[in-house]
A and B are shown apart, each in its own frame.
Chain A
Amino acid sequence: MRTALASVVALTLCVGVAQADTITPEDVMFDYGEVAQSLTGTPGDAANGIKVMTNRGLGNCIACHQVTALEEYPYHGEVGPSLDGAGDRWTPEQLRGIVANAKEMFPDSIMPSFYKRSGYIRVGDAFTGKAPANESDITTLLTAQEIEDVVAFLVTLKD
């Protein structure tokens, strides 16, 4: 009950700062892992998507995925599949769903859920190792727009 109340407060706060048409993590509609609707209504910026994918403090996608188009950014991991050709293999809606919460499509995936902010076991305050002062202060790993930006880049990855 207290958690629900806190969520309502958090939601209200978010709506206050974010654009009115940004979809909150709790309201994202997954359909077999796909998300049809843009999370923000603002078209993604592929150039910023690259930044999100390569920056350790943001998505750091290349920590696990090899991407030939991002070769200039060193050290690509091997934990996830290569993303070469991802724009051929997946629709934008599928890519949005996978980036937002891959576990909707692949329940056992190791991939973190980038647009989620609750339902964790011992969630911490970022990398401090400490519990957050208030669990409802936890923010998503990426913002809604950053997800759209990553998707905008991924759709360009054609074989």
Chain B
Amino acid sequence: MSMPSCRRCTWGPCLPILVCLAWATGCSDPKISAMVFYCDGAGWYSSASSVKAGLRAAGFKGKFDTFSWSAFLGPGHDHLVTARSKAVARRLSRKIEQVQLKDPNRRIHVMGLSAGTAIVLSALEQVPDEVHVNHVVLFSPSVSALRDLTPAMQHVSGQLYATCSPHDGIVKTLVINADGGPGPPAGRSGFRMPSRAGEATQAAYRRVINLPWQPSYVGYDWDGGHTAVTRSKFVKAVIAPRILRLGPHPLDRSIMEQVAIVQTGAEL
């Protein structure tokens, strides 16, 4: 006779707790648990808001963290000195590491503009082996197009997107790249596959995608300019669908795919 009442006593308080637990775990939106680290350009501290607005407009509900890396001594100093600083990049890599240690399932995206891309790549090269980010977006990168992205890509589980434009007046006139590397800046014509690439490099460049400026992007406010690439409309229409998606976007064409087509001597 006492059994039913005892059962009521035990299960009664448990039911709301179980419901709360189920709600908290099962109904969480994967977009909420995502996080974006953003590095602004040298001496340009206002692009983060438009990038954030573009992502939010596309449905991104995660945290957006602007990583301040500038020495506030002007764009020249940022570009030539601070962007190459391993210590500054280590600060970002530690932040990424901390977020991942706290929540290993959290999706992390890292983005940068112009010289900020040097910080992004340097930070990715410095994170411990077990730390991975999901996607990387480099807006108008002023690092060398010949830079070997293999070490950075070891810590990227998804794709690395790099925008480039022949109408970019700033990268066109750059004499020294933000990372000090040789060759033209990647923001002009995109990253290039290193010569004599091994298997690891080839695997890495299968996930590196150049996004060259196209006339159709004018409709999304990117006229090919250096900082216009971070306009919210462009981020919403072109960048967000790529990073909010689990697999590659149908329009993605990796550098490796391009190289394979050229190597087979296909008709251009």
User: Does A pair with B?
Assistant: no
Residues on B facing A (Cβ under 8 Å):
none
Residues of A within 8 A of B (CB): none
